[in-house]
C-alpha cells in the first residue's frame, strides 16, 4: 500500500533546464525522481507546485509523491539529501492526505525577483541577481506594479506555453517594489501565474524604472488583453525565486 508525502525544496536552478522533466537538459524533477527510485526500489513520479523555467531558483518549492516503502518523513529527508546534488535540498518532509496535490491544492504563491542596481555587480551575486547599471525610478515602478494587483487577463504578460490553457485570467494579491542600497526586490503574490508571467511583469517594470514606459502603460496592456509583443521584455531567469507556496 502506498502513502503520499509532501516535501518543501530549495534549489539553485543555475544548472537545470527548469523544474519539469524535459528533453533538452537535466531538470530538478529528474534528480528528485532518480533519488526516490533508489529509495523506493521502483519508479516514483514527483508532482511539483510550479513549472519553474531554466535558471530560476526556489526557496519554498512544494512537491508531492507516493511511496510504497514505509519511510518516516525524517528518514526520507535525510535519505534524499544524502543522495541529491548540493544545489537541491529538501527542507521539510511530511505525510500528506491522499488527495493532497502540490499544484491543485495551492491557494497562492509568492515569487521574488532580485535586481542589483549599481555600476558593478559583485561576482558572488551574479548567479542570483539581474544586473542593471542605469538608475531605476522605484516610485514609478511601484506605481506600475500596483496596476497589476487584482483579477486581470494577463495574456499580454505571458509567453506561449505550447499547451492548452483554460484561461489566462489570474488574481494578483499584492506587488511590492523595495529598494535597499543597490538591491531592488520585486515581491509578487497571486493565486497562480502563467508561463513567464512574473519575468514579463518585472521586465516591464524595469522598462518603467528606466523611463522607457509610463506606469499607465500597464493598465493599457492589461485592458488590451492581446498576445505579448516585443514591447514586454522578459527579465532573465536567474533573478527569480519561487519564494513560498501556501495552502489551506
CA distance 87 to 67: 24
What three-state secondary structure class fits 14? helix
42-75 residues labelled b (16+ CB within 10 A) or e (exposed):
eebebebbbbbbbbbbbebbbbbbbbeeebebee
150-153 and 169-180 beta bridge pairing: antiparallel
Distance of alpha carbon 99 from alpha carbon 96, whole angstroms: 8
CB atoms within 10 A of CB 209: 24
- 191 is an active site residue: no
Retrieve residue 164's grid coordinates: 492548452
- Coil/strand/helix, residue 53: coil
Listed in sequence order, the DSSP H helices in the chain are 28-40, 73-83, 138-146, 197-210, 216-224
* 59, 87 Cβ separation under 8 angstroms: no
Residues across the chain? 248
Q: Which of 113, 129, 132 has the alpha carbon at shortest distance from 198? A: 113
Q: Which one of 12, 23, 53, 66 is the catalytic residue?
A: 53
List residues with catalytic annotation: 53
Amino acid at each position: 500500500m502506498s502513502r503520499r508525502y509532501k516535501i518543501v525544496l530549495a534549489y539553485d536552478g543555475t544548472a537545470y533546464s527548469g523544474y519539469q522533466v524535459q528533453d533538452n537538459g537535466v531538470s530538478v524533477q529528474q534528480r528528485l525522481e532518480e533519488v526516490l527510485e533508489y529509495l523506493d526500489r521502483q519508479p516514483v513520479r514527483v508532482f511539483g507546485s510550479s513549472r519553474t523555467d531554466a535558471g530560476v531558483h526556489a526557496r519554498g518549492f512544494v512537491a508531492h509523491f507516493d511511496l510504497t516503502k514505509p519511510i518516516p518523513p525524517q528518514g526520507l529527508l535525510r535519505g534524499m539529501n544524502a543522495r541529491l546534488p548540493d544545489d537541491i535540498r529538501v527542507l521539510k518532509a511530511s505525510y500528506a492526505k491522499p488527495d493532497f496535490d502540490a499544484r491543485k491544492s495551492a491557494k497562492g504563491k509568492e515569487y521574488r525577483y532580485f535586481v542589483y542596481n549599481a555600476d558593478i555587480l559583485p561576482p558572488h551575486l551574479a548567479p542570483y541577481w539581474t544586473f542593471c547599471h542605469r538608475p531605476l525610478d522605484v516610485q514609478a515602478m511601484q506605481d506600475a506594479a500596483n496596476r497589476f494587483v487584482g483579477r486581470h487577463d494577463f495574456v499580454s504578460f505571458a509567453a506561449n506555453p505550447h499547451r492548452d490553457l483554460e484561461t489566462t485570467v489570474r488574481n494578483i494579491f499584492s506587488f511590492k517594489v523595495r529598494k535597499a542600497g543597490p538591491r531592488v526586490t520585486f515581491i509578487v503574490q497571486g493565486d497562480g501565474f502563467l508561463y513567464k508571467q512574473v519575468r514579463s511583469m518585472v521586465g516591464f517594470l524595469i522598462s518603467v524604472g528606466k523611463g522607457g514606459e509610463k506606469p499607465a502603460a500597464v493598465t493599457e496592456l492589461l485592458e488590451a488583453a492581446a498576445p505579448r509583443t516585443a514591447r514586454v521584455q522578459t527579465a532573465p531567469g536567474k533573478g527569480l525565486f519561487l519564494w513560498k507556496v501556501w495552502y489551506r
